[in-house]
Amino acid sequence: MKEQKTTKVPVWDLPDVPKGKLPPHLQLQRTRVLCTFDAPTHTESIQYSGAYAAMGVDNSLRLEEFRNNFRVEVIKLTEDDMEFDMIGIDAALANAFRRILIAELPTMAIEKVLVANNTSVIQDEVLAHRLGLIPLKVDPRLFNYMIENDEPNEKNTIVFKLHARCERGSPRIKVTTNELKWLPNGSELILSTEKPTQDSTSKTKTYTSFNCRQDTLPEFLDNPIVPKHDDILIAKLGPGQYVRNFATPLVNETSTNEASAISFTFPCMIESPHVSSNDTFSFGGFIKLAGAVGSGKNEGLNVMGTSGSVGMEIELEAHAVKGVGKTHAKWSPVATAWYRMLPEVVLLQDIEDGMAEELFKKCPVGVFDIEDIGKGSLIVFDQFIDRQLGRKRATVARPRSCTLCRECIRGDDWDKLLSLRRVKDHFIFTIESTGALPPEILFTEAVQILEEKCERVISELS
Amino acid sequence: MEHGSFQDESQATFSLTDEDHTLANSLRYTLNQDPRVTFCGYSIPHPSDARVNIRVQTTGVPARDVLKDSCQDLMLVCQHVRSTVDQAVMEFKNKQWVESMNIK
Ligand code: SF4
């Protein structure tokens, strides 16, 4: 095999890279993610302070430099949403802020539901879960966490009451969050272990022990605690039903024998007459019922509708406490918080005429525009450009809307014509608040939590 | 909690309870940017344990001092981020307010 002849250049004869500056290709790899055809490359951020020591470049963090370079530009800010650009920060920190926003900022959410009566088709646990997810419009900073063995009091618990009933014969009704009524005086349900006392002077013990009414506290005087939205559907209640209508077609064929125990499934409410009204058992939806039931008769069972009772009813009390999204997503103060790096679309060479048209059509979100260079629309450059009439050239008009779908670099060496990148230290951050606090406050609170974490480590180390 | 040796203070592993990637990754970043650090990294030994181990090796200074300085740095960065965001939000609100006045 013939050895390939390449002129050998001693390393000390190579042109010098100026000290303190990275050569362009390394600078590109350091500051951009390159989205090539098959995969993104150079995705890591070069964190090590001595990474470029051999080139005389200091990669360490200088606070002064950070202060000079860091910028924030608010793009959109409404009551609940915020979008802003955060420029000059590492992904490690941007991600820390995002993680704290989602999982570690506290809010208030319903945690305990005391069901006095529920004859709706929604099971107690499903109902409780739905209630938990309702965003409450209350500043969590005014409350304390309820720590183990804490008595529920006015500083750690918010009580709501819900009582809705569908009258017999009326159309089906919707129970929405506007029926959740705040009880500033705490729970109204008597603690079941309490013996009813004849002594009228002593306060009967309820499920909470408030020292004062919450609505007399200055924070809530003219700012009552309500759910953020008053039109969230909690449940639908219907007027009761006759069991015969449902049960008959569903009764198991083999067990129509009068005396035998049968098992069948039917959608209706069953209420046992042997329990007091405060802890009524109820079942909803399709239930499996086993027992001796005579055909048509419902011995021992009081089936709603047939007994002339009213329609479905929900009566409950919901206790909200302070928590964080780490424990359960219902405490997360954001619907979501996310960031993306600023896309950058670079045309490596002029793309003209047919190619420009093709490129324009390729992009589904309209990143490119076509510019007429023949008619001299580019005044500054026109003496250098071939002034043939009708010549067109592609330009990158809206790089921010690029989704990096990579459609434009697919096929036929298009990836040699343009390059897709992401700027590593430019984050387009979006916060969608669920309503407890405005998004800009959420963000500063999140940053503060990171500070507190650092403080904790420092004090632990000293 | 620190796991190190008395002979050589320049390397140690710090075990932080009730912390996760949020703090550990941020600290790894600030530690790495400190020229006195020769190596640093972190790991979460088990996902159901709320604990991270941060390893710090330095050129000679006690590792705990370097970690403390890094926390300090991170706090200063956070303070700057907070004030910058506050300022940007205020400017934006002012701008919005002026625009809503609709001065011709
Ligand atoms: S990657 Fe997709 S969205 Fe971005 S410029 Fe190319 S075609 Fe358009």
Measuring CA to CA, how many Å separate A254 from each of A250, B8, B33? 11, 83, 78
Look up the CATH superfamily of B2-101. RNA polymerase, RBP11-like subunit (3.30.1360.10)
What's the CA-to-centroid distance between A344 and ligand 1, angstroms? 10
Our mutation pick for probing the ligand 1 site, out of A404, A415, A417, A422, counting the most ligand atoms within 8 A of Cβ, is A404
What is the DSSP code (8-state) at residue B41? E
d(CA A105, CA A453): 13
Contact indicator for A93, A66 with CB cutoff of 8 Å: no
Window 30-69 of B: residues touching A by CB (8 A cutoff) are 30, 32-35, 37, 64, 67-68
How high is the pLDDT of residue A219?
84
Predicted confidence band of residue A195 (pLDDT cuts 50, 70, 90):
low
How high is the pLDDT of residue A401?
92
Task: Please state the ipTM of this predicted complex.
Answer: 0.94
- Does the structure show a pLDDT above 80 at A275? no
Token pair for residue A150? 């804490």
Mean pLDDT of A297-324: 68
pLDDT digit string, tens, across residues A160-180: 999 999 887 888 999 999 999
Mean pLDDT of A263-291: 36
Of the two residues A26 and A283, the one the predictor is more confident about is A26
pLDDT digit string, tens, across residues A109-156: 999 999 999 999 999 999 999 999 999 999 999 999 998 888 888 889
The residues with which A423 forms a beta bridge, in sequence order, are: A32, A342
How high is the pLDDT of residue A196?
58
Mean pLDDT of A382-405: 75
Phi then psi for A395, rounded to 5 degrees? -130, 160
How high is the pLDDT of residue A72?
95
pTM: 0.80
What per-residue string of b and e applies to A282-308 under the rule 16 or more CB within 10 Å gives b?
A: bbbeeeeeeeebeeeebeebebbbbee
Look-up of token digits 């670099």: A409
**Closest of A374, A426, A425, A433 to residue A400, by C-alpha:** A426
What's the CA-to-centroid distance between A30 and ligand 1, angstroms? 23
Q: How near does any CA of chain A get to the CA of B104, in Å?
A: 23
How high is the pLDDT of residue B53?
94
**Closest of A299, A389, A312 to residue A122, by C-alpha:** A312
Q: Do B23 and A450 touch (CB under 8 A)?
A: yes
Q: Do A77 and B71 touch (CB under 8 A)?
A: no
d(CA A324, CA A100): 10
* Minimum-distance ligand 1 atom for the alpha carbon of A35: 1
Phi then psi for B94, rounded to 5 degrees? -60, -45
Residues 6+ apart with CB under 8 A from A109: A132, A133, A134, A135, A136, A320, A321, A323, A328, A330, A331
d(CA A278, CA A194): 14
d(CA B81, CA A445): 12
Of the two residues A276 and B76, the one the predictor is more confident about is B76
How high is the pLDDT of residue A193?
67
d(CA B30, CA A93): 9
A407 lines ligand 1 (CB under 6 A): yes
Which segments in chain B show pLDDT lower than 70? 1-2, 4-6, 103-104
Summary mean pLDDT of chain A: 80
Chain B residues touching residue A77 (CB < 8 angstroms): 89, 92-93, 96
d(CA A191, CA A208): 9
Look-up of token digits 């006045």: B101
d(CA A398, CA A401): 6
Q: A69 — contact with chain B (CB < 8 Å)?
A: no
How high is the pLDDT of residue A1?
53
Nearest CA to ligand 1 atom 7: A363
| Least confident residue range of A196-210, A254-268, A296-310, A429-443 | A254-268
* Minimum-distance ligand 1 atom for the alpha carbon of A418: 6
**Closest of B55, B53, B57, B54 to residue B37, by C-alpha:** B57
Chain A residues touching residue B51 (CB < 8 angstroms): none
Nearest CA to ligand 1 atom 3: A402
Window 38-67 of A: residues touching B by CB (8 A cutoff) are 47-50, 58-61, 63, 66-67
Structural domains of chain A, with CATH:
107-239+311-331 (2.170.120.12), 259-303 (no CATH)
Summary mean pLDDT of chain B: 90
